[in-house]
Amino acid sequence: MAERTKSAWTRWRRSRRAKREARHLIKEARRILRKYPQRINEDVAAELRKAIDALQEARAGSRYSQLRERLERLDELVERHLAFGRKSAVREYAESIGIAILVALLLRAFVVEAFKIPSGSMIPTLQVGDHLFVNKFIFGFRIPFSNIKFWQVREPRRGEVIVFVYPTDETKDFIKRIAAGSGDTIEIRQNVIWVDGKPIQRRRLRGPCIYVPDQEEDGTRFEPRPCMAYEEQINGIRYRVNQDRDGYVQDRKPFKVPPGHVFVMGDNRDNSHDSRYWGTVPYDHIKGRAIIIWFSYGDPDGVRWSRFFKWVHDESVR
């Protein structure tokens, strides 16, 4: 039984490979016939088209021997009469690589881009050394090297983690969470965020809360720092925030977010340089919405396997 299954698998792979070769050869023969009609005798062209049709018919069928025979026949005719128009292996590889690079650049510019987390302002949601993918399509296409955007699918929503161009230094990218959106009135009372006169859902989490902040500029690490952990929820998105155990109580007077802007904050509340200090983020500065962590590496753990392919949003807080 195992031998029979293996034999069937081998036949299927052989047939699939032959059909792939046939498709490529048919495409190549038609390209040369179309590009160099003046260099090909009419009788030869007719013979080639007949061979192409025969191979196309065999490719649609299930007889491998017929497919292989007609494939060899067309390859012989192409080599004899159309060799002048065939691409070299080097050229084919170069074109394939060029197309792959172009597709990758277009995807990076308009659809998905990879980012690395350089600081601890979003601890515990994002750790230093997390690598994540960002959806650049959802908030509109952004013309590379500019803040011009068009074709926006929807506006940014409260609770989402976004990557944006730092408004006071456009050479830097920041990542924060949206605390208030366009037209919202945000206020902070005793470290609790209020939006339009209502507090966001927030509860204290039990258990130890200790984290290691970023490195100092000279490369030495800060000592592990005790903290207080809270669960917050905005628009159905649940996430955890840290506040220093010896941190200060923060208040902020009501502030109305301008139209077309968002107010952002880091999840590591007492260690985040955000809208509380430098203002709001215009829509045209937003690069995209954080999607998933695809790789994570950092001291002292090294590779953090548990963080691989971890969604940034809509996670339960434990």
Whether 176 sits among the annotated catalytic residues: the reply is yes
- Catalytic residue chosen out of the listed positions 121, 272, 275, 296: 121
Collapse the DSSP code of 170 into the 3-class scheme (helix H, G, I; strand E, B; otherwise coil) and give the result: coil
Question: Within 10 A of 46 (CB to CB), how many other CB atoms are there?
Answer: 11
Asked if 238 and 314 count as a contact pair (C-beta separation under 8 A), the reply is yes
Burial of 10 (0-12, 13-18, 19+ CB in 10 A): exposed
Nearest CA to 162 among 58, 49, 283?
283
Question: Structure tokens of 41?
Answer: 């005798």
Which residues have C-beta within 8 Å of that of residue 61, sequence separation ≥ 6? Answer: 67
DSSP states along 208-219? --EE--PBPTTS
If residue 5 lies in a helix (H) or strand (E), which one and from where to where?
A: helix 2-35
Question: Structure tokens of 51?
Answer: 């061979």
**How far apart (Å, rounded) are the C-alpha atoms in residues 228 and 269?**
10
Whether 6 sits among the annotated catalytic residues: the reply is no
- Catalytic residue chosen out of the listed positions 119, 136, 176, 275: 176
Asked if 188 and 194 count as a contact pair (C-beta separation under 8 A), the reply is yes
Collapse the DSSP code of 262 into the 3-class scheme (helix H, G, I; strand E, B; otherwise coil) and give the result: strand
What residues act catalytically? 121, 176
